[in-house]
Amino acid sequence: MGIQDEVRRLVNTESARHKRLVEYVVRQVSSGRSLSDVLEDPYVTNRINDVERRALLEEPEIVEAVSDDVLTEMRARIESIAGG
């Protein structure tokens, strides 16, 4: 396996994809978008399901980027959508 293949494999892993989503959410929220809008963004919804979207709300970077009230509201909203 060549270096390009190895890099491609690492970039396309689930953990790399998750990290890119976390970075995207933090960047968007930091630029002034609401967390609700960001989580409904096609960039997010096309890449993960509701359970994975809910898991994003436990990431330390996202928790730090938004207020507790916003997190509580979004967790409840996603859990009601995901049925749990």
The set of long-range contacts for 21-24, using a CB threshold of 8 Å and a minimum separation of 24, is: 21/47, 21/48, 21/56, 22/56, 22/59, 22/61, 22/62, 23/61
**Amino acid 12: pLDDT:** 64
**Amino acid 7: pLDDT:** 62
**H helices present in 1-84, as ranges:** 3-11, 14-30, 35-39, 42-45, 50-56, 60-65, 68-82
Max avg pLDDT among 40-44, 49-53, 69-73, 77-81: 40-44
**Amino acid 1: pLDDT:** 63
Band (83; pLDDT cuts 50, 70, 90): confident
Domain boundaries, the chain: 3-82
Q: What is the reported pTM?
A: 0.75
